[in-house]
Structure 1
Amino acid sequence: MTTELRVFDPNRWDEWYDTLLLAFGGVPETPEELSLWRDLTETGRSIGAWDGDTLVGTGGVFTFRLAVPGGGLVPAGGITMIGVRPTYRRRGVLRSMMARLLADIRAAGEPLAVLTASEPDIYGRFGFGVATFRGTAEIDTSRVRLSVPDGTDAVRLRDVAPADAVEACEAVYARRVPARPGMLARQPGWERLPLLDPANDREGASPLRCVLAEADGEVVGYARYAVKPEWDDARADGTVLLRDLEALDPAAYAALWRYLFDIDLTSTLKVRDTAVDAPWQLLVSDIRRCRVGVSDALYLRPVEVGAALEARTYRVPVDVVLEVADAFCPWNAGRWRLTGDASGASCTRTDAEPGLALGVRELGAAYLGGVSLAALAAAGRVRELRPGALAAASAAFGTDAAPWLPHSF
């Protein structure tokens, strides 16, 4: 079929967003949610697919800066709001929108494209590899104890209304971003996202709460959470629902976790999104009673291979020729020589013999260091063409902190 892709008309936002919601089952959103996403939508970077006068597909891009290994913040296009009207599925609408959005990201000079996938199987064919994972946990705080570091008792904790603490929390968050690949530097307006708290989504829990950690008069951490009171045969059995937590030092971090463990009338702490190597796992007395889980999070693909690989640093010196396959963005296909170390990198076209052969999807998965090239090779998705190239490149792409996306988009 032939559809026409048009730049989004902001006067038709309601129609555009209703088409997106229809693709996701048609459940209405609250006025609070609609207001947030209306304000965050970048109209100049959003498109609609039209069949005559019928809007059949939606898509857009958010302008992000993504933390990468080495602490740099790299421009990245966040592909979002992807939806196709149910009666138009399997007719090439998504493919045409993805081609347009990736071309627009390239034209904007952003070397990376990122997204969160409702169905992971869809986006591999467009070159996206899973680059970060998120951890979940359900901790039995009646049985699990915390071992906290020296200085924890000196941290002062203070309850505040979440809306009153936005500036302080965002300052802490901003200082944390360069320390972990995959985190997004929040642009103006995005500070509202962690406060989104529709009453009909609470399922019996309290409104969002916030506690600040302070040391020497400075805010050095925060936790945002809710409490769901429950009783079992007259015994308090409530649950703490952790929304997000950041801290600038181990003492503040431990103080916040201890606070969450000790909230009266609760016996469970549910963590819905945490880094897979988050330090709290090393503070608990019994990790088995924490019911830890892992799932996929951020999907990434280089839009410009050379610029993307030059934008990050490398854990150990690397000098390798990569033969990259990229059918969807063919300008990336071919041989690239990557040289770099902890101070910087260069990645240029070359005719030299390759050391590794891989697809852009695998390069995207390995880019932030969360998936090793060695693991991809063991799965048959990277081929070593020069002995020793795999081990050297895999070590270079690694990172000290597991990459993590703190919120979806």
Structure 2
Amino acid sequence: MTTGEAAALTVRPLAAEEWDGWYRRLEIAFGGEEEEAEERALYRSLTEVHRALVVCDGAEPVGGGGAFSFRMAVPGGAVLPVAGVTMVGMLPTHRRRGGLSVLMRRLLDDVRAAREPLAALTASEPGIYGRFGFGAAAWRMAVTVPCHRVSLPVADNPALRLRLADPVEASPACEELYASLVPLRPGRLERRPGWERHPLLDVPSSRGGYSPRQCVLAEDTESGRLLGYARYSSKVSWTEAGNAAGRVKVRDIEAVTPQVYARLWRYLIDMDLVDTVEAGNLPVDDPLLHLVSDVRRLEARLADSLHLRLVDVGAALESRGYAQPVDAVLEVVDGFCPWNAGRWRLKSSGPGRATSCVRTGAPADLVLDVRELGAAYLGGTTLAALAGAGLVAELRAGALAQVSRAFASDVAPWLPHGF
């Protein structure tokens, strides 16, 4: 990239009438395949045009990106504003010309102006975003359950009824249950109006031979109250010997109690004609790991999911809860958002207590990049582990253990769906 090339690329707001061309350039950046009309219509309705940007080479649009205005749960149960950075892409002709840096500069400046303390994204290529201060803050687990090789003992409960329902008709009740669970796990997103359609998206050409989406509800037999649900698709197949070898793909599964969660999993595993159940996005500490008779049979695989950046270090650290008392000075290195750089004194009396995080001239106890602070913010990655990789430096003996334990979360952070 030459200086002239970088200077030629500029960023401007998207005009509403430009959306189709803007989105088509994104499709080209991700390989060129055109999405089905249903999927395109959904994302058009969800796009916040006032937060969308166009990267231009002179007058020619060559890339773009934007943000969704989300709210996300953090340790301690607070739900904070977070900018969901999305739809970032450059045409193949303009790779490595500084366009992404120009775009991210404007995006993060806009996030700061909106007074959102956090920015989040899911990365198609995780190696790209670390230089902009994003750290891998939450992971997802995929499992493959061989139904006839594991058992899942669950006591029958006459007060619980399972009922098949139309996914669209059941959506309002499912969304109400989902909303009640948001504060209980860091990384969960509140679903703003319109986002309830996201988990219902079921484009026929993307099913891969699976059935249309199905929904099973777990309800209290007396009150009819919804206690849990699972949305899934199935595919019937047979071996050459004539044995059933069907598969079930779990789209999402939620429950208000452990007992209901276990019952829903037994329903999925015990279905007729089904040999294998797959789930592609579960928390890394999902209860299923402890429910099945043989955990090794699940073939669990981990992958990065949510990448997080602190846009306002002071506000972000003051707004989350801490597992134990902490009083330490963090020296934060932030080359991309220099307003964060410097020493911050983090002080909290522990769970449920007031927290402060203010600038200080006192000597630093720990030194770390804002990327590592983002990785540890939701409690899924410990500062001690990052220090073991040489990414956090301890300057005062004992400070690392104290701060690392304070940042811990009882449950692993988890992003329930992409954006």
SS at match of 1:235: coil
Aligned counterpart, 2:229: 222
Say whether residues 1:201 and 2:211 are aligned partners.
no
Task: Tell me the CA shift for residue 316 of structure 1.
Answer: 0.4
Aligned amino acid, residue 246 of structure 1: E
Asked if structure 1 preserves the Cα contact closer than 8 Å seen for 2:136 and 2:307, the reply is: yes
The equivalent position to 1:180 in structure 2, one of 180, 185, 188, is: 185
Q: Which runs of 5+ in 1 are unaligned?
A: none
Asked if structure 2 preserves the Cα contact closer than 8 Å seen for 1:152 and 1:252, the reply is: no
Asked if structure 2 preserves the Cα contact closer than 8 Å seen for 1:336 and 1:349, the reply is: yes
Q: Which whole-Å CA distance do the structure 1 matches of 2:157 and 2:265 have between them?
A: 11
Aligned amino acid, residue 268 of structure 1: T
Asked if structure 2 preserves the Cα contact closer than 8 Å seen for 1:152 and 1:255, the reply is: no
Q: Which moves more between the two structures, 213-222 or 355-364?
A: 213-222
SS at match of 2:129: helix
Task: Tell me the CA shift for residue 384 of structure 1.
Answer: 0.4
Q: TM-score, normalised by structure 1?
A: 0.99
Deviations 1:18-70 (A, max 9, x none): 01111000001001100000000000000001123321111100001010001
Asked if structure 2 preserves the Cα contact closer than 8 Å seen for 1:19 and 1:84, the reply is: yes
Say whether residues 1:254 and 2:262 are aligned partners.
yes
Say whether residues 1:3 and 2:9 are aligned partners.
yes
The equivalent position to 1:361 in structure 2, one of 365, 371, 375, is: 371
Q: TM-score, normalised by structure 2?
A: 0.96
Aligned amino acid, residue 232 of structure 1: T
Asked if structure 1 preserves the Cα contact closer than 8 Å seen for 2:244 and 2:273, the reply is: yes
Aligned counterpart, 1:245: 253
The equivalent position to 2:351 in structure 1, one of 328, 342, 349, is: 342
Q: Which whole-Å CA distance do the structure 2 matches of 1:396 and 1:182 have between them?
A: 18
Q: Which whole-Å CA distance do the structure 2 matches of 1:90 and 1:30 have between them?
A: 30
Deviations 1:358-395 (A, max 9, x none): 00000000000000000000000000000000000000
The equivalent position to 2:82 in structure 1, one of 71, 76, 84, is: 76
Aligned amino acid, residue 181 of structure 2: R
Q: Which whole-Å CA distance do the structure 1 matches of 2:265 and 2:323 have between them?
A: 31
SS at match of 1:230: coil
Q: Which whole-Å CA distance do the structure 2 matches of 1:153 and 1:262 have between them?
A: 18
Asked if structure 1 preserves the Cα contact closer than 8 Å seen for 2:334 and 2:340, the reply is: yes
Aligned amino acid, residue 225 of structure 2: E
Aligned counterpart, 1:397: 407
Identity %, equivalent residues: 55
Aligned counterpart, 2:168: 163
Say whether residues 1:107 and 2:113 are aligned partners.
yes
SS at match of 1:297: strand
Within 5 Å, give how 1:86-101 maps onto structure 2.
86-101=92-107
Aligned residues between the structures: 408
Q: Which runs of 5+ in 2 are unaligned?
A: none
SS at match of 1:267: strand
SS at match of 2:252: strand
Aligned amino acid, residue 136 of structure 2: V
Asked if structure 1 preserves the Cα contact closer than 8 Å seen for 2:10 and 2:102, the reply is: no
**Runs of 4+ that moved beyond 6 A:** none
Task: Tell me the CA shift for residue 98 of structure 1.
Answer: 0.2
Deviations 1:178-208 (A, max 9, x none): 0000000110000111011110111111000
Task: Tell me the CA shift for residue 73 of structure 1.
Answer: 0.4
Q: Which whole-Å CA distance do the structure 2 matches of 1:113 and 1:151 have between them?
A: 44
Deviations 1:107-132 (A, max 9, x none): 00100000000100000000000000
Asked if structure 2 preserves the Cα contact closer than 8 Å seen for 1:155 and 1:251, the reply is: no
Asked if structure 2 preserves the Cα contact closer than 8 Å seen for 1:153 and 1:255, the reply is: no
Task: Tell me the CA shift for residue 147 of structure 1.
Answer: 2.2
Within 5 Å, give how 1:146-157 maps onto structure 2.
146-148=152-154, 152-157=157-162
Aligned counterpart, 1:36: 42
Aligned amino acid, residue 380 of structure 1: G
Q: Which whole-Å CA distance do the structure 2 matches of 1:406 and 1:210 have between them?
A: 17
Q: Which whole-Å CA distance do the structure 2 matches of 1:153 and 1:249 have between them?
A: 15
The equivalent position to 2:382 in structure 1, one of 358, 368, 372, is: 372
Aligned amino acid, residue 305 of structure 1: V
SS at match of 1:64: strand
Aligned amino acid, residue 394 of structure 1: S
Aligned counterpart, 2:393: 383
Asked if structure 2 preserves the Cα contact closer than 8 Å seen for 1:214 and 1:221, the reply is: yes
